[in-house]
Structure 1
Amino acid sequence: MKIFDDVESEVQSYARSFPKVFCRAKNELLWDQEGNEYIDFLSGAGALNYGHNNTLFKETLLAYIQTDGITHSLDMHTKAKGEFLQAFNDIVLKPRNMNYVVQFTGPTGTNAVEAAMKIARKVTGRQMIVTFTNGFHGVSLGALAATGNSYHRDAAGVTLNGTHRMPYDGYLGKNIDTTDYLDKTLSDSSSGIGMPAAVIVETLQGEGGINTASVEWLRNLQAVCRKHGLLLIVDDIQAGCGRTGDFFSYENAGIEPDIITLSKSLGGYGLPIALVLMKPELDQWKPGEHNGTFRGNNLAFVTAKAAIDHYWSDDNFSQDILRKGNYISARLDSIVNQYGGGNFTRRGRGMFQGIDCVSGELAGKITRCAFERGLIIETSGADDQVIKLLCPLTISDQNLEHGIDIIEIGFKEVFAEEGNSLDVKGNFDTCRT
């Protein structure tokens, strides 16, 4: 560990929560240098929906490398890119009647968000983007301006602008539809808000605390956008690629975004790739107007195609995600009912769920207990108060059950099995091993 302490920047984050040196991974399992085994409920923050070193993808990737296939190509045409585009169009887009142009950006989600907001501004001639409370869209300056979290925003060192913040679904209470507020401000010439270019929204806010927008709210949001001539951008970087059951997280709402951003698990193997989907009439870029040296990651094209071919050619995988999601819901509901004195809540849907523990200190103690027992799991939310399950979608039933068992043991340990009352100040003993 000394080399990391001596040389690596203090900006490191996950290494502080999981202070081990990991050396091997397969499917939903990780091993450290001492040979200890861990179940992975983090999955590269959602970049490993298909698990670590998925055998199908690995064999395909190794075969491609062995034949000296193109690795780096800027945005030139390659066989690997063409085959990915064909599979994505035939298997993902066409069956959903989606007519979109694909733009490859730099390989990170934040770059896709930057491109999406830029093209929205270019097309509409307007500058402002409507964003939502607790949203997280990345940490490059444009995406950071759309992000709500003050911890990340304060690190910018400059004034962040170009956005209007609006309350997300449920932010003002269950019985208040915040799209009415958005509609009112856009309709009132004295609201102080000029007409924006677009709205960017996560249907399920992962980093923001697993806040889930209702079907009705998303439909109302789309209606407000169309009424006022705003483009609707869905940031599906973490919630997409099957995490909620469908390939896109908004499918259950039946909405039709103008622009969609994808990254994280799109590459299948954990290799970085990001893209923007936009309606063809919005594709008004001039050549090279938004570019990046690594927007042609051919290794990711290869594994992304393999993922689409194998998992999305029919609805079997989607149905299995929903089955596992139902199991997760039942188990988390049981934990919530046992602990917290009615103050805890289950959040999310599909295989993107968690438990709001009210207290970040409490949630942190539970996840530390889990790590001591061989489970890697993180927290999210404004105060890190939500224990966030983000296991691979391909996880075995046995390890899914075992992982949630460990979470439940964590609750038992922290509450010391002495009662179910909640102390939101987090006055609990450390994990007993």
Structure 2
Amino acid sequence: MSPRSLRSVFLQRAWLPLGLLALLLYLVAVPLALLLVSSFKPTGLPFDEGFSLQNFAIVYGDAGFYALLRNTLTFALGCTVCALAVGGVLAWLVERTDLPFRATARVMIALPMVLPPFLLAMGWVLLASPRTGWFNQLAQDAFGLARAPLNIYTMGGMIFVETLALVPSVYLILSNAFRNMDPALEEAGMTCGARWPAMVRRIFIPLLSPALLAAAAYLLIVGFLVFDVPGTLGMPVGLFVVSSRIVYLATDQSGGTSAYGLIAAIAVTFLVLLLALAWSYRRLTRQANRFVTVTGKGFRPRQLRLGAMKPVAVALVLLYFVLAVLAPLGLLIWTSLTPYLASISWDMAGKLTLAQHAAVFSNPRVGAAAWTSLWVSMLSATLVTLLALLVAWTVLRTRALGQSGRNLLDVLSFMPLAIPGTMIGMALIYMY
């Protein structure tokens, strides 16, 4: 079907855009509205009687809330700064230098995206746990240390592991910006006698600023809403961010029932900040076309010769791959083959067994869980892709619903980016 005929279908069948708008209102706006209403209910349940500011008074009057806010901001900002620094350096090395084996380097940097962050966190528990971490045992044996030098159950450990997980996203965003930088601008700067610091300040940074700001906004959003790493490394030692705190309150039955009102008040407070970040990210990505190089012919970015620094650059790429993939995944595989928790050694190599794997795969519950995960992921991915396609076509290629209606549809489709899964889960509990 041609684009013209597709457009006519949307224009002639007004029920389709209206149906998309109604569906997104039901899926996004209604649960969030129930979450907002619940925050003002004394019981925390949206359909109970009465309205009160009691939940907000309890939350804002608790010193622990401000510690939670500080932890969340520290975690989000730390991940953003570190991931931008590491991902930016790797993107520059691959795209703008004569780094050898660049195709392999691209794969090595992007590979952590296929690993769930909680697996990465579990791998680093095995590597840097104060009691049983392999790196700690190596350091203590080698240097005779009485105490373990590394502790992954800290804010620094959480930021470190989340940074490893976020670097591929930063690399993919910035590598395209580095790749599309016209060398004619660099030549013009050098012709005018500009030195490298001046060229970086007046040419490179302005060209990269849209991608840098968009990446920073995206990373801040992820830092606020991610649960995998804070839940794995922070919750066991009582180090909470907003996402892990919501899960803790939702599962804590010490008071008889979960503190739904407090959960809703905390969620609404952080949701305002997250939606502001999402709006900034949306605005930055939509204005990116204002910062493009217009040229009448193709070009290839100038490659900087690394010279004697080439081994150092290769070592940096390899170091990231080892820290993000090889070490944590390798130790996870090793641990799955040992009959009990033990460090890597020649003595233990003779005791490796597949008994645990056989027990797992022979368990019918594991097979059922795997099948459920497979069909749910495939079905949800298909439905979400289809819905996103229809929404994008309606917003960008038709005049249905009027400009205000299309803007509302666009905003509703973008809002879930800024909503942590824990908040969506609580909103759906209220709804169903």
Structure exhibiting the larger radius of gyration computed from Cα positions: 2
Which one has the bigger helix percentage? 2
Higher relative contact order (CA 8 A, sep 6+): 2
Which one has the bigger strand percentage? 1
TM-score, normalization: structure 2? 0.23
TM-score, normalization: structure 1? 0.23
